[in-house]
Chains A and B, each alone.
Chain A
């Protein structure tokens, strides 16, 4: 039963991909969305880490310059 569902789903996806091939460079690989979510998570965390570091350094610079005054 499960194998049948998987086979049907694969056929549907393949048909959709064949239809999409009419559009030249465009493909249709829905699973790519899921497999690339890791990049989204890493990228967003990465940006927050860099921005966080910049906020820390900026706050530190502000504090030092205020003290010097």
Chain B
């Protein structure tokens, strides 16, 4: 991912990172307008009112950044995140675990996925220290979450083998 350059005041400002959001907003606005182009005016009011203001503001922003580039007070340089390697790998690993959590939860159920997620992320973030303690903690926290959300508030979270077993046991 690109990132705003946290460089000292004397060096040039890297504008690559701060363009991500305006470009995403621009793309989404054009897509949104495309979805309402043949619709009645009631569906178009917001697209044209809010959309036109957003496009204008983004236009001003882009012009200001181009001027900065031309004047030499800014640079455009796509860099990979400048965080130290250890932190970067922990962060990417944690984001990966979160995505896995979302992908797996429907297949194996809330409690087991939550326990595995807690265990995996705690190990990852603590450099693999004390795995047994963390496993016990992860199981405990997952069971607390089961108690609060499924038993207490009767939330219909995805159920798997653990939920079926606990429902029979309790």
A and B from one assembly? no
Interface residues of A (CB under 8 A from B): none
B-side interface residues toward A, CB under 8 Å? Answer: none
